[in-house]
Structure formats: C-alpha cells, structure tokens
Structure 1
Amino acid sequence: MKPSMLLCSAILSLATGWAQAAVPAHYAVFEMDAQGQARPMFYTQVQLDDPQRDLRHLPRSEGGLERVEYRVSRAGVRSAQVYEAPVPQFLRAEFALDPERGHGRVELHRPMRDPHRAFVVRVPLAVADAIELAGDGAAKVAQRFDFRELAIRSAQLPLAASARKAMPLAIDDQADGAKAANSGNRLDILVLGDGYTSAEQAAFANHAEVMKAGLFNISPYKDYQNFVNWQTGFVASSQSGADHPPYQAGCTGTSCCADVEARNDPRAGAFVNTAFDATFCTNQLHRALTTRSSKVMAAAAGYPNWDKVMVMVNDPVYGGTGGAVSTISAHTIAPSIAIHEFGHSVTGLADEYDSAYPGFPACSDAGGNVPCEANVTNQTNASLVKWRSWFTPGLPIPTPAGTAGTGLFQGARYLTSGMYRPVDACMMRALEHPFCPVCRQEYVLKLYRGGFGSPAAGIDLIEPGTESPSPAAAVAYARGTTKRFSAALLRPSIGTVAVQWYLDGTAIPGATSATYDFRQDTATPATRTLELRVTDKTAFVSAAMAGGLLQHSRSWSIRVNAARVQPAQALAGSP
C-alpha cells in the first residue's frame, strides 16, 4: 500500500470508531498577521470525540469567511487531501437601534477586521505529526509546523501562561449535572466568561443561564434543544468588567475612543485586567465589545469538542460582536442579540435589513458562482424562488411591504433593492419578531445537513455506536431463536419521530419502537435484510425542500444458519 493510502486509511479507521471512544489529538491555536502569516500561540493535547472534526471543507456559501488551507503529514507522508480552517474576515457589529427599549430594528455598523484573527486546528495524533499551511500568492508563503516541536516548546508559546490559568475548565454539562450527551452527534456550544473574578463564579453561572433560557425559549431552538450540548466554562479574571476607553475626538489608538457615543459611557476611563482582554470601542466603535479570540480558543481546550464558542463579559454596558467568537455583554437585552448572531454563526443566515455594508461579498441565485444564503435571493421569477413552497397562496410576487405572510419582500442583505427576503419582518431583520418559516427551516436542515462543525455530515436520529448488534458485519443467526435488534434514538425536544422496522424491504406491522425481536423458524430465506428507519415529522421543513435529510436508517444483513439444538435433543445425541 502506498504511504499516502496508509495515511488515508488511518483517518478512515479513526473515523469508523469515533462513536465508541475518544482519540488523543493535537490542539493548536494560531493567529494571523497582516500579511496572512500564521503564528503558533498555544499547543496542548486533548481527547476528541470526533477525530474528523477539523478534517473537512467549509461551506462555500458562508459570506465573510477567509479560509486557511492546510495538509497534514505523518512520518514524512503528506496528505493528498486539502483541509480548511475558518478565519472570519470581519467582526459583526450589530445592535438594536434602541437598546434601552430592548427591541426594534437591528443596525449594522461599518465592517471591521478582527485585530487578532485566530483559528484552531484539532488533528488526531495517529493522523499527523505536522501541518503545512498553504501559500496564497506572493504576499503569503507556505508554512510548516511540526506538532512534536510545538509540544516541546509549548510552555514558551505566547499564550501558554495565560491559558494555564484558564484550565481546567469547570464544566456545567447539563442542567441536572449529567454528563454531556454524545458530543460527536450534537451541536456543541461552549460559553465562557470574561471579567468575572474568582469570587464571581455564581454571577457568571446566572448570566449564562439567562442566556441559555433566552436562546431556548424561541423556535426553532427550543424545539431542537436536545440536539445541542450547552457547556459553560468558568475562567477567573484578575478584575471585573471590561476596558472602557474614554472619548477623545480623532483618536486612532486603543487607549481612547473617537466614537461620540463613548461620551455617555458610565464607565468611561476604566481599564481592567481580564482573562480574554475584553474591551469596548474596538476599531473606534463604542459598542463593539471584543475579546482576544486566540486566548478564548486556548482556554476552550478544556472542552475541545466545541463547535461554537460564546463569551459573556461581566459588564452591564450594552455591546458585543460576532465573528470567530461571539462576544456579548451582560446587558439585559444581550440574549436577543445573541439569538440573532446565532442565526449567522450556526445557521448561516444572511441579515435581512438593508443598511449598507460596503465591500460585503456579493451573491446571486440567478447565475454566478456564489449562491445567496437560504433566507435571501435576487431571483424574482416566482417559479424559481428557492422558498416558493412556503409562499402564502394569493400573495403577489414580489410582495408589497407591510403584507402578512411569506412571499418576496424587497430589501435584504444590505441592499435596498434587487435583493429579497421571505417575510416583511423576521428575527434576522428586527429583534421583536420570531424567525420566519424559511429561517426556521434552515436551522433544522443545517442540523441534519452539517456544516456547523461536527458531525460534518450532520446530526443522526440514530445515535452512532448504539446499534446492537453492530450493523458493520453480517449477523449470524440460529433459526428458531429470538434475536433482539436495537438502537438509541435522538428525538427533538418538541415534535415527534416516526419509527418503522422493515424486513426485506417490507414494513413489519406494529414494529414501531427502538427495538425489534427477530425470529425465523425455517431455514429459508437464508439471507434476510432488517432495516430501521427513523423520520423527523417536523412541520418546520417543507417536504419539497427536505430531500432525504429528515430520514435516517440502519440495515443489518442476517445470515440464517443451523437450527437451535434443544436440550432434550442434545442429551439424546450424547454418547
């Protein structure tokens, strides 16, 4: 076998067994400089539930993402496959127009680059001992990092000391204290805190619980809460709160703020020492509250199976940003902004408001290489609009503003014309509204389709690794005996799934539970096929747009052999 095939075989064999046991892996955090070169900031070894977590390609429709391409190698054998790590180009600075009222239109502020662009690579030890970041043009050259070398000098890496203070994390797995459910088959959200001293752990727990309650109190998040592992990790800071640079006209540094809104900051001039360097007025926008994402990712190694990381900052002033790490203050309406941001970072939805965003990558559903996000389109032919199955009968297409129902409303994705949204007002446009049917559907499809992290192929209604017996090999069966087949099922928090067993392609009457007892007294048929099908019966997904995503199945091949020997027969045949 060729060396490259051996490397692929190692990856495949690890992936096959991920549901049964975690595997040791490299966990390395890098920061990108202005020239696009990567600098290692932190290294440790962790246990991964899904060894293929970061060995994947990213969705190409996700706007505003930079992608760092890399190959892995082991013992000098370089992978043929190219993988990608996400590095957001911009921070999102989106706020309610009237934060004191708590609701209203969302306003996008000017685009801003993350001053500390960071990414993490998680690769099983058995797969790689080095990583090679691809070059990109004359301004960027290929870089190679040896994980063994990083391990040796891990204590000298820039974030080694600060990350040690943050680990191990105090993990609050579930509300009842139970261990987190199968991480390899869930959306894993990790919530960390910044600006909480060691004496303020209870305050962090309360703030995180408010955030959780707000998120899972609306559809579709509450309907699929069982599909999410919500983890909280406490990280103690030396001081409380965040930095509040004071107002100074014309300021261009980080010790002051040129935004006139900083004049009204009740904490102006406060500078504190926190674990993740939380600060207001990033890029001279007062409400732009950020943390240093590389420090957050280093601390997150305490729970390495995360898909998305959020940071709660112990500061009552309204602010936050979205990006590689979503950062939110402890202001009372922070959960609303977090829900909106979750629509971007997890579901991949576009903003539906029309305030200008110069330079944002264009999209088109009427031709072009980059299709638009699920909830926006430039297609006006009613028969070609991707959400046409959700159209309210009788509505004109395009649809006049102020009309109730689902249609085609002009103004979305930072354009006042030429771009359309499904309803007049939705959570992706204004905070006081629920998600529209199209946005709600996309979240459900994203859970099943994958693309949010791990599992890369989406969440499975049949828990991987729980099948008994294993369907990986033919099952030897002695006729005349009873053989139980079973699997653990994942069900939505609200809603139902249909369960049906099939024998040789025919539904078995009454076989609608997670277990089935197979029995055959005759010698023929000698080969049988038993199948379990589980289907999500949600009304959130249009049948015309579901494809096969809502149905999952397992099949067992049964080999019928000799009849069972009865005890009396055994005695009669004894010498």
Structure 2
Amino acid sequence: MKPLLPRRPSLHPACWGLAMLLALSACGGGGGSSGPTTTITTPEVPRVDPPVVTPVVKPPVIGTLAWPMTLDATHPAQMKLLATDPDGGAITWSVVCGARLKCKLEGDTLSLEVDATAPLGQSGVKITATNPKGLRDLAERNVIVWSRAVANHLGSLAGAPDRAGLHLLILGDGFTAAEQPVFHQAAYDMLAKFASLPEIAAHLDAWNIHVGEVDAAVSGIPRAGNHPPVPPPLGSELGCQGIVRLLCPNAGLALPMAAKLLPHYTKVMVIGNTTDYAGAGGDVSTVSLAPEARDVGVHELGHSFAGLADEYTDLQINYPYYEGTFPNITSYATREQVPWRVWIDAARPVPTPFPPPDDFDAVGLYPGGYYRATGYYRPTMDSFMYSLGKNIGAVNGEAWARNVYLKGGAWSAVEPASGTTLQRSAQPAGGWLFKATPLLGPKIVETRWYVNDIERTDLRGATQLRLLSAEPATVRVDLVDLTGRVRQDQGVVAGRGWSIQ
C-alpha cells in the first residue's frame, strides 16, 4: 500500500489566479510554511450605475410632395400629403395658403384652387404635419397662380382690361378650341421671358398683358404656298417672303380682331400653333411655340415698342439712315456727340476697341451697326439687337423704360387734365387742388412738384398739391425714375403741367 501523501489545503476558486502569480495563499491556508505571511488587499471597485438612456424624440418627416409649378383657375390641383412618424403615430395636417389661392383640406388630401379674380403672381402654401407628441415638420412653396379666366374670348395674365398702363394683347392663331390651354401656356411662357430680363422686369408692373382666343377650325400653321382649304383665322403662314424662319400673320385680319377684343391695345403679338422655330416683327409681331422663338418676340418688340435699330451687319439691307432716329445707333464718333454718352465711363476710350477690357456689357462706342460694319456705332459689344438671346444692355434698357412711360405707363390718374388753363376768378375757396398719381410704386418712381419753376421739396413723392394763387402761376409735376436704369434728363421720364391766369 502506498503511503498517503499530505493533503494540501484547497483554494477557493477565486484565489487560483493570485496564487499562481504570487505563489502566495491570499485566500486560504499557509501550506505548512513557517515563514511570515503576506496579506494582499484587493481595492474596492466603486459601483457604477448603468447610464440612464433618454429616448430620442424625433418629429415627423414630410415626404416628397407633387408641388405644382403653376396653377390656373381652369385646372385645380390635388395633392396627397405624405409624412412618416418615427413612433408610428397618427399625423395631423394643417395648411395656410396665400391670398390668391383657395385651399381645402380633407384628411391627407389637399385641394388647391385659384381665385378667378386674382391677378397673376405668386402665392405661398405652407403645410404642417404634427404627430401625437406635438412635434411638427413644415413644407412650404411659392406657386405661380393666374386666373386664366376668359370672358368673350379675352383673358388677362397680368393687370386688367380697364386698368391704366400699357396693354399687350397676345392672340393665338391656328389653335382649335380644344387647344386653347396650349396657347394660354405659351402666352404665359412669353410673359415669364419678359420677367427674366432685368431691364424689362424693372417696369413690368406698368403692363397689362392679355390673351385673345381665336378658335381655328383646323389645327396648325401652313407653309407659304400650300393654300389649305381652311386657313388659320388670322392668316398666319410659315416661310413667308421666301424666308424659312419667318412666321407672318395677315395684319388685315389680326389688327381688326385685336381692336374687337381690346380696342385700346398698345401692342399686338400673335403666337402661331407650330413648333417650328419662327417669328417676325412689324405692326404685329409673331412667335412660334419653339422656346427659342421667345427671343425673337423680345427682339421684335425692341423694334416696334422701344424704337431700337438692328445692331448686326447684313449687306443685303440698305435702308436710309437719319441721325437721331434710333437711341442705339449713331454715326458720330466723338464722346461729346454720342447720344448715350452719360453711360460711358470717363476712362473708356471713344471709339471703343474690341474686346472691352473689363466688362463684356460695358457701354462704349463700338464700330458696326444698322447693317454695316463701319460708319455706324452701337452702345455695347453685343446685345439682343445684335444676337438673339443676349443681354438687353443699359442703353437699350433705358430706351425700353422711356417708352414704357411715354406710351402710357407713367400715370394712373391726373386732375385736372394736363395743360388746363385755370382762371383765378374761378378759384375754389380752399384753393386749387392738383393731383398726379404714378402708375408704378414709390420704389420705382418719385414725383417732384414745381410752382413757377421752383421745386416744393417738401412734396417729393406726394400725389397732390394744393395752391392758393392770387397771381398768375404755373404748376408742374415731374416723374423721376428711381431704378437707376434711366440716366438722361436726370431721370425725368414724364411730366404734367397747368397754368393759372
């Protein structure tokens, strides 16, 4: 029998690690050793409570909405509102619409309808999604709205037929009754083109822009020489005068139609129902449905409305020239004689070399214009009267602005009638009351009142002057453009006057 070996005291399992590292018994017996005993104290580990996790509360998120770009009275819109809530709660919707829109909310469906009496403009829409915890998400958008309401074949994109100012009447030719919405959209696109050009947009509020519907029996515009059985109502044809890109109406049909729809029109434009790139100028300017043709429309109004000349070279054309006829062409070559010298920087040489040293639109005196490369000068290196789609330019822009005022865009009301001679013997007890209300707002124009050619500076911007006059007197009111786009005559663009005898 084998002798029994001495039994070693057992260690607590938790002490084995320390025993192996230190060869000491920190937790149990001494193993029979007579040496000193070393005691190891394990440091107390502080208790750490688990962190308190605060749940993140997130607001709802509105999904992508099918916002309409434009709205009109004939085509209401409906939108399905979409939103997600992280907690899966039910969404409550609310909506606020601008003055030109009528909004109706049923559950998550929003209906938008244009006020048929509202003028063309932008209207805001604000949509709010709220979850059960009161958290919100907001979506907002400006929508272009217009009435597109037509009475007796006449509607207005901007302004109204009985409003003071200028009246551009846009007629459609070659559009059937079912295609009139296509014509309306093309007319609106033409208006949007005007609004995109700063020199025109600065005074666009002086315009009333109308559409005249002329229903065609057959859709489209024929080519010259085709002689369709039923021609368009306004007689328009493509390729007239042997030029492929000309679109010519019959002015003998278009102008009487314009007078029937709007007797006091200022200018008439015809949109032809063809996607071919085409247009023309004259008493009746024309454009096609091609987007590029809108530049033709602006160019041709530059001729017929603003009185501008072509600035490009075309040796096939040989019209007579008379100095002073056009605001953008001169035969003078010295700074003192240039009609637009107020726009030329003192450091810029006259004539001006090519290219401009610092600014492509810089005003100077550039050789070439009125169809000739030499002998005439133009204000800028390039413009919409030189190349379609280019900038209008400062000098051409001033010509456009001055014609806005000259042709009816200055005053909304003047009393008494300008030029009236008043008798002192008939003076009312309270004195004479003169009224002159500008058509455009105070950020665009300002009145200046004069009595016997002395300005009443206290009445700058006023719309009336009251005067007691025991002696003969003259009264005048000048209208000054504040946009910076009119420099000649110190910015004076219109005036009215009276005399008292």
Q: With the length of structure 1 as denominator, give the TM-score of the two structures.
A: 0.53
Equivalence for 1:307 = 266
Q: Give the Cα separation in 1 of the matches to 2:157 and 2:290.
A: 24
Q: Give the Cα separation in 1 of the matches to 2:178 and 2:205.
A: 32
Give the 5 Å matches for 1:24-423.
170-173=153-156, 175=158, 178-182=160-164, 186-244=165-223, 254-255=225-226, 273-302=231-260, 303-358=262-317, 360-363=318-321, 365=323, 371-403=324-356, 404=359, 405-423=362-380
For residue 171 of structure 1, what is the amino acid of its counterpart? L
Equivalence for 2:129 = none
- Quick one: percent identity of the two aligned structures? 24
Equivalence for 1:21 = none
One of 454, 459, 471 as aligned partner of 1:511: 459
Structure 1, 228-237 or 212-221: larger mean CA deviation: 212-221
The structure having more radius of gyration, on CA atoms, is 2
Q: Give the Cα separation in 2 of the matches to 1:463 and 1:447.
A: 13
Kindly state the Cα deviation for residue 418 of structure 1 after the two structures are TM-superposed.
2.2
Are residues 385 and 517 of structure 1, via their aligned partners in 2, closer, same or farther at CA, if it must alter by over 3 Å? closer
Give the 5 Å matches for 1:531-546.
531=475, 533-538=477-482, 539-543=484-488, 546=489
Q: Give the Cα separation in 2 of the matches to 1:343 and 1:469.
A: 29
Kindly state the Cα deviation for residue 215 of structure 1 after the two structures are TM-superposed.
1.8
SS in 2 for 1:419: strand
Q: Give the Cα separation in 1 of the matches to 2:236 and 2:428.
A: 65
SS in 2 for 1:220: helix
Are residues 439 and 340 of structure 1, via their aligned partners in 2, closer, same or farther at CA, if it must alter by over 3 Å? same
Are residues 502 and 411 of structure 1, via their aligned partners in 2, closer, same or farther at CA, if it must alter by over 3 Å? closer
Kindly state the Cα deviation for residue 318 of structure 1 after the two structures are TM-superposed.
0.9
Cα offsets for 1:69-112 (capped at 9, x unmatched) = xxxxxxxxxxxxxxxxxxxxxxxxxxxxxxxxxxxxxxxxxxxx
Equivalence for 1:87 = none
Cα offsets for 1:483-526 (capped at 9, x unmatched) = 683525224468432334455655446334213456x7xxxx63
For residue 514 of structure 1, what is the amino acid of its counterpart? T
Kindly state the Cα deviation for residue 432 of structure 1 after the two structures are TM-superposed.
3.6
For residue 281 of structure 2, what is the amino acid of its counterpart? G
Q: Give the Cα separation in 1 of the matches to 2:417 and 2:350.
A: 52
One of 440, 444, 448 as aligned partner of 1:496: 444
Cα offsets for 1:281-329 (capped at 9, x unmatched) = 2133222222222111221221222232110012111111112211210
Q: Give the Cα separation in 1 of the matches to 2:155 and 2:375.
A: 46
The 8 Å contact of residues 352 and 421 in structure 1, kept in 2 or not, is answered as: yes
Q: Give the Cα separation in 1 of the matches to 2:369 and 2:204.
A: 29
Equivalence for 1:553 = 496
The 8 Å contact of residues 194 and 235 in structure 1, kept in 2 or not, is answered as: yes
The 8 Å contact of residues 268 and 284 in structure 2, kept in 1 or not, is answered as: yes
Are residues 494 and 477 of structure 1, via their aligned partners in 2, closer, same or farther at CA, if it must alter by over 3 Å? closer
Are residues 466 and 478 of structure 1, via their aligned partners in 2, closer, same or farther at CA, if it must alter by over 3 Å? closer
Equivalence for 2:70 = none
SS in 1 for 2:355: coil
SS in 1 for 2:271: strand
Cα offsets for 1:52-71 (capped at 9, x unmatched) = xxxxxxxxxxxxxxxxxxxx
For residue 526 of structure 1, what is the amino acid of its counterpart? A
The 8 Å contact of residues 426 and 433 in structure 1, kept in 2 or not, is answered as: yes
Kindly state the Cα deviation for residue 233 of structure 1 after the two structures are TM-superposed.
0.9
For residue 433 of structure 1, what is the amino acid of its counterpart? K
SS in 2 for 1:188: strand
* 1:430 aligns to 2:383 (yes or no): no
The 8 Å contact of residues 462 and 552 in structure 1, kept in 2 or not, is answered as: no
Equivalence for 1:445 = 402
Unpaired runs of at least 5, structure 1: 1-167, 246-253, 257-269, 366-370, 451-457, 559-575
Kindly state the Cα deviation for residue 464 of structure 1 after the two structures are TM-superposed.
5.4
Q: Give the Cα separation in 1 of the matches to 2:199 and 2:273.
A: 28
Cα offsets for 1:150-173 (capped at 9, x unmatched) = xxxxxxxxxxxxxxxxxx952224
Kindly state the Cα deviation for residue 340 of structure 1 after the two structures are TM-superposed.
0.9
For residue 170 of structure 1, what is the amino acid of its counterpart? H
Cα offsets for 1:329-383 (capped at 9, x unmatched) = 011122211111111111111111113233x213254xxxxx4522112222233
The 8 Å contact of residues 193 and 314 in structure 1, kept in 2 or not, is answered as: yes
Cα offsets for 1:93-134 (capped at 9, x unmatched) = xxxxxxxxxxxxxxxxxxxxxxxxxxxxxxxxxxxxxxxxxx
Unpaired runs of at least 5, structure 2: 1-150
For residue 320 of structure 2, what is the amino acid of its counterpart? A
The 8 Å contact of residues 413 and 437 in structure 2, kept in 1 or not, is answered as: no
Kindly state the Cα deviation for residue 219 of structure 1 after the two structures are TM-superposed.
3.4
Q: Give the Cα separation in 1 of the matches to 2:486 and 2:398.
A: 5
SS in 1 for 2:400: helix
SS in 2 for 1:318: coil
The 8 Å contact of residues 503 and 529 in structure 1, kept in 2 or not, is answered as: yes
Kindly state the Cα deviation for residue 223 of structure 1 after the two structures are TM-superposed.
1.8
Are residues 460 and 337 of structure 1, via their aligned partners in 2, closer, same or farther at CA, if it must alter by over 3 Å? closer
Kindly state the Cα deviation for residue 397 of structure 1 after the two structures are TM-superposed.
2.0
Q: Give the Cα separation in 1 of the matches to 2:377 and 2:186.
A: 36
Give the 5 Å matches for 1:457-476.
458-459=407-408, 461-463=410-412, 466-467=415-416, 472-474=421-423, 476=426
Cα offsets for 1:427-450 (capped at 9, x unmatched) = 1112342212221122233344x5
CA RMSD of aligned residues (A): 3.3
Kindly state the Cα deviation for residue 406 of structure 1 after the two structures are TM-superposed.
1.4
SS in 2 for 1:180: coil
For residue 379 of structure 1, what is the amino acid of its counterpart? Y
Q: Give the Cα separation in 1 of the matches to 2:470 and 2:156.
A: 47
The count of corresponding residues between Structure 1 and Structure 2 is 344
Kindly state the Cα deviation for residue 532 of structure 1 after the two structures are TM-superposed.
5.2
Q: Give the Cα separation in 1 of the matches to 2:440 and 2:199.
A: 10
SS in 2 for 1:298: helix
Q: Give the Cα separation in 2 of the matches to 1:460 and 1:338.
A: 20
Q: Give the Cα separation in 1 of the matches to 2:283 and 2:493.
A: 29
Larger RCO, structures 1/2 (Cα 8 Å, 6+ apart): 1
Kindly state the Cα deviation for residue 196 of structure 1 after the two structures are TM-superposed.
0.8
Q: Give the Cα separation in 2 of the matches to 1:169 and 1:214.
A: 27
The 8 Å contact of residues 531 and 554 in structure 1, kept in 2 or not, is answered as: yes
The 8 Å contact of residues 192 and 312 in structure 1, kept in 2 or not, is answered as: yes
Equivalence for 1:526 = 470
The 8 Å contact of residues 158 and 210 in structure 2, kept in 1 or not, is answered as: no
Are residues 462 and 344 of structure 1, via their aligned partners in 2, closer, same or farther at CA, if it must alter by over 3 Å? closer
SS in 2 for 1:210: helix
The 8 Å contact of residues 235 and 249 in structure 2, kept in 1 or not, is answered as: yes
Q: With the length of structure 2 as denominator, give the TM-score of the two structures.
A: 0.61
SS in 2 for 1:209: helix
